Amino acid sequence: MSENVLCVEHVTMQFGGVVAVNDLSLEVNQGEIVALIGPNGAGKTTAFNCITGVYEPTNGKVDFMGAPMVENFPQGNMKKMYLGEHNGDYTRKLNPTPDRITRLGIARTFQNIRLFSALTVFENVLIAKHMRARQNFLSATFRLNWAEERRMRRETMELLERQGMTHLKDERAANLPYGIQRRLEIARALATEPKLLLLDEPAAGMNPQETQELTDFIRQIREEHNLSIFMIEHHMDLVMQISDRIYVLDFGKLIAEGTPSEVQNNQRVIDAYLGVADDAEN
Amino acid sequence: MKKTNKRGSFIALICVILMLALVVVLENTVPFTSMLFTVLKKGAVYALVVVSMNLLNGFTGLFSLGQAGFMLLGAYTYAIFTIPSDVRDSVFYLFGGSALHISFPEMFESVFGSTGVGGAISLILGVLLALILAGLVAAFFAYLIGLPVLRLKSDYLAIATLGFAEIIRAVFQWDKLGPVTNGANMLKSFPSFTSFNLKDAGGHVVLRLSTLVPFVVATLCIFLIVLLINSSYGRAFKAIREDEVAAEAMGINLFKHKQLSFCISSFFAGVGGALLAMYSNQVQAKVFTAAMTYELLLIVVIGGIGSVSGSCIAAFLYIAASEWWLRGLDENPFLGIDAPAVFRVGLRLVVFSVIIMIVVLFFRRGIMGDRELPDLFRRHKKAAKEVAK
Amino acid sequence: MEFAISILLSGISVGGQYALIAIGYTLVYGILRLINFAHGDVFMAAGLMMVYLSASLPLSVSVPLMVILTVALGFAIERIAYKPLRSAPRMSVMISAIGVSYLLQNLATYVTGGLPQMYPSIPGLSASVTIMGATTKWVTVVTPVLVVILVVALTQLIDHTKVGMAMRAVSRDFETAQLMGIKINSVISATFIIGSFLAAVGSVLYFTNYRSIVPLSGAMPGLKAFVAAVFGGIGSIPGAVIGAFLIGICETIIKGSNWTVFSDAFTFALLIVVLVTKPTGLFGEKATDKV
């Protein structure tokens, strides 16, 4: 039951002399909703980018469904500049491009929405089906893939129906209200048929009511698509309500992990969020 | 939805057939020396080249300026493989004859005969084969060039492709390759559009088809491009144009798809280059300059970046204006106004560039924006329906 | 030996002339992230203006007047063709630049009637001089010296004046600079003015060497200067200058051999090699894209 889906092991991401993510290790199990929280600039999105192949981590390893997916160790100039730990533990360079990772079954949304804004809602979702199709450009041009094309369109329609977006299908994505854009981005990610969904601040800019709707929506898609969900979020209501476990990141380092109630009462987390009066301690 | 789609394709098919029929009728009724046919022929060729450029720049969002280079490859490939063997030595006389001795039409003539129907079949098949080969050669070079340059960002890609086009041009002018390319001299005497006019035994033209040929080839190629754009791959291209990072997150392999778009675009640029060679009866490397690419790019902009029908309309308008309507600007009395100081060589292009700048600055969406002709009708219908309500 | 020296000399001289154009590219790219395709044509226009001005005016008047007019041209191009597109996608601005280039070339064809124009000979620059046995024009000697003086002056300007500081700020971060109260439009205008001024000086040197001007005279030197700017690391002034000298020298060597056809192609081959192996050029800075 508690099958391990994502396992991040000692991942460090260093830009020049700045360590953005420092020795991060975490796990997401089958069917779990896990949240990654932390103050602004803690390195949460960088961590996401390391998992999804946008960046190659400087050191460390990421396993997906029990198989190694990303792995790297300090090379070239970085050998001398590396400031993190576990130097030498990893010796393999494995960094697939983001599209390969999506193919493996990890889909994501973006902090600042990245829809194909000139295209319609329907096309936005349909594009996600492209990757799993067996056609090539000749068969697609000469319409020899009509059966597959029809299936892709049908599945897209079904997905939009389930999200209650059928009536919007011919709208340009750019013309949608903000909240719907967020949901469309999630729908588009779901269309890639992921096993793990990464949400980068899904509730950013939403009012309490929209946040509540989103909470239900996330629960619903987990059930319907048999997903594990890993998300970055600042809305504590949302995080505390639906997360099974929470990881807290501060200055690139993991400072706490546990169930919502454990994290809520963790002194280091409170310090990180509220700030510590350094001189008062001395 | 499905039904209107089918009806739409049917209407489009009828329109195309009517257009081709009209071209044949016009050519055989209007005196063939009329500027109209220059415009139609060159316009059709340009329409194809501009649409292929739009596939890359407008639909995939890759700002490439290598178009003239790929056209050059196509034009030379076509010429080299179709020059009849008996005139080869006179064309290549500066280099003591040609190194290659293949002529596709003659190859087919050995099967179908060289006179009458057999001759016609040989000509058609030979030219067709040469056109396809022209496209393939351009696409192959695009593949090689794409390997390093498609990883570059927008403006670097532009300058790198421009550079490749210049390198190709230099290579084709190199005298060491003279026996193949005829160096900096022109290639000529290959089958052109007028070779397709039907003649009787006495050599008199019975039926003029020289305008139909570029129309058929260009229509077919543009049709293929439209099919591609409306397929799943076309959608993937548009996704890349809209947002590369998001497209990659949707599982689209950026490099593979960019490479595909680049090669297909170059294939059709190659075919277009071959057609241009047929149109002008000659090929010379010095014609395919960066200025030609700029001209094509500006036509794309006038038509609307991301609109196939816009590109076609703009191509014909541009050629009509530059070859015909505004030609008079270059000669003194223009529209009866006598001002030799104003109306002299070059004014036409100045007027042209001013119009282009106005389009670029104030009508950035061009004639069609990113819409297609059928969209306009659809909108009208929708509006009519709303009024009816 | 004499041959080698004369090639080296003319290489350095051509390189210096490219350098003056290349700075215009690199400054504009540093600030607007725009390949100013029209810059080479501004250079050509400067040459043509000199031809027409010197026909009726003495050199002491026509040279400064030409410089002023070129600067005005550069300024006007920015205001008319680039400024309205400030918020448009980068591709639109680049297309606008290509449009301006097309316009300038066609205007030049119209004005000259398509006939090559002879550049006036400038006493002092056109005169011959013999260095280590190699005979050349004075301009060959003057160019590198002038380039060094101008580059030093320019780096002083950028490092120690208020305009220079604003330029550096804008090239770092366009939006933030704007929020900090920097008048973005005047900084951009200043950039174009400096670029055009250097192009005007470059045109005097270049066309004293290659005296025939046609409408396309600016296109090739322009592209080569751009390659030089990329080679040196776009945005870096010393980079552009070093890149330009290297390209100028390589080019004259190739022209002196029997590979003349490839003298232009070589520059582009170099460009592609640089872009593929080290896209940031010799002195460029690496940037990471934020997702």
According to the 3-state scheme, what is the secondary structure of A178-230? HHHHHHHHHHHHHCCCCCEEEEECCCCCCCHHHHHHHHHHHHHHHHHHCCEEE
Percent of chain A with pLDDT over 90: 55
pTM confidence score: 0.91
* B-C contacts at Cβ under 8 angstroms: 129
How much is the pLDDT for A279?
Answer: 46
Instruction: List the subunits that have 3+ CB pairs under 8 angstroms with C.
Output: A, B
With CA atoms as reference, the chain B residue closest to A112 would be: B246
* A-C contacts at Cβ under 8 angstroms: 5
Distance CA A50, CA A55 (A): 5
Q: Would the CB atoms of B228 and A141 count as touching at under 8 Å?
A: yes
Nearest-10 crossing angle of helices C2-32, C162-172: 70
What confidence tens digit (pLDDT) does each residue in A83-135 have?
Answer: 888 888 898 898 899 999 999 999 999 988 999 999 999 999 999 999 988 88
Amino acid at A49: N
- Of A250, A251, A282, A244, nearest to A267 by C-alpha is A250
Which residue among C94, C103, C268 sits closest to B167, beta carbon to beta carbon?
A: C268
Which residues of chain B make contact with A152, given a CB cutoff of 8 A?
232
Q: What is the mean pLDDT of residues B277-300?
A: 92
pLDDT band of residue C196 (cuts 50, 70, 90) is: very high
With CA atoms as reference, the chain B residue closest to C33 would be: B155
- Whether residue B118 is predicted with pLDDT greater than 90 in this model: the reply is no
Distance CA A162, CA A166 (A): 9
- Does residue C91 sit at the A interface (CB-CB below 8 Å)? no
Which residues of chain A make contact with B251, given a CB cutoff of 8 A?
99, 102-103, 128, 130-132, 192
Q: Would the CB atoms of B243 and A115 count as touching at under 8 Å?
A: yes
How much is the pLDDT for B379?
Answer: 63
What confidence tens digit (pLDDT) does each residue in C169-190 have?
Answer: 888 888 888 888 888 899 999 9
Which residue among B235, B238, B248 sits closest to A99, beta carbon to beta carbon?
A: B248
- Whether residue A280 is predicted with pLDDT greater than 60 in this model: the reply is no
H-run or E-run covering C214: none
Which residue among C80, C268, C291 sits closest to B163, beta carbon to beta carbon?
A: C268
- Does residue A54 sit at the C interface (CB-CB below 8 Å)? yes
Q: Would the CB atoms of B227 and A97 count as touching at under 8 Å?
A: no
Which range (A84-98, B195-209, C67-81) has the least confidence? B195-209
User: What's phi and psi for B188, nearest 5 deg?
Assistant: -150, -170
- Does residue A236 sit at the C interface (CB-CB below 8 Å)? no
Percent of chain B with pLDDT over 90: 50
What confidence tens digit (pLDDT) does each residue in A135-157 have?
Answer: 889 988 888 888 999 999 999 99
Q: Would the CB atoms of B346 and C114 count as touching at under 8 Å?
A: yes
- Does residue C291 sit at the A interface (CB-CB below 8 Å)? yes
Which range (B378-382, C180-184, C253-257) has the least confidence? B378-382
With CA atoms as reference, the chain B residue closest to A146 would be: B231
Work out the minimum CA distance from C37 to partner chain B, whole angstroms. 10
Q: Would the CB atoms of B232 and A116 count as touching at under 8 Å?
A: no
Which residues of chain C make contact with A45, given a CB cutoff of 8 A?
291
| Length of chain B, in residues | 389
Work out the minimum CA distance from C272 to partner chain B, whole angstroms. 6
Q: Tell how far CA B240 is from the center of its chain.
A: 24
- Whether residue B322 is predicted with pLDDT greater than 50 in this model: the reply is yes
How much is the pLDDT for B110?
Answer: 87
> What residues in chain A have their Cβ under 8 A from chain B's Cβ atoms?
52, 54, 97-100, 102-103, 107-108, 110, 114-119, 123, 126-133, 135, 137, 140-143, 145, 149, 152, 188-189, 192
Look at strands A18-29 and A4-15 and give their pairing. antiparallel
* CA contacts within 13 A on the Cβ side of A153: 12
Q: Long-range contacts: A185-188, Cβ < 8 Å, 24+?
A: A185/A109, A185/A110, A185/A113, A185/A114, A185/A115, A186/A109, A186/A217, A186/A221, A187/A125, A187/A159, A187/A160, A187/A163, A188/A115, A188/A124, A188/A125, A188/A127, A188/A128, A188/B250
Q: What is the mean pLDDT of chain C?
A: 88
Which range (A4-13, A258-267, B327-336) has the least confidence? B327-336
Which residues of chain C make contact with A49, given a CB cutoff of 8 A?
291
Q: What is the mean pLDDT of residues B98-107?
A: 84
Q: Would the CB atoms of C291 and A15 count as touching at under 8 Å?
A: no
How much is the pLDDT for B1?
Answer: 42
- Of C250, C227, C228, C225, nearest to C239 by C-alpha is C228
How much is the pLDDT for B7?
Answer: 81
Q: Would the CB atoms of C261 and B173 count as touching at under 8 Å?
A: yes
Distance CA A98, CA A51 (A): 9
CA angle B3, B4, B5 (to 5 degrees): 90
Residues β-bridged to residue B109: none
Which residue among A15, A45, A110 sits closest to C288, beta carbon to beta carbon?
A: A15
Which residues of chain B make contact with A54, given a CB cutoff of 8 A?
245
pLDDT band of residue C48 (cuts 50, 70, 90) is: very high
Work out the minimum CA distance from C171 to partner chain B, whole angstroms. 17
Which residues of chain B make contact with C107, given a CB cutoff of 8 A?
350, 353
Distance CA B163, CA B144 (A): 14
ipTM score for this prediction: 0.89
Mutation pick from A45, A109, A114 vs chain B, by most beta carbons of B within 10 Å, is A114
C219: tokens are 């296109």
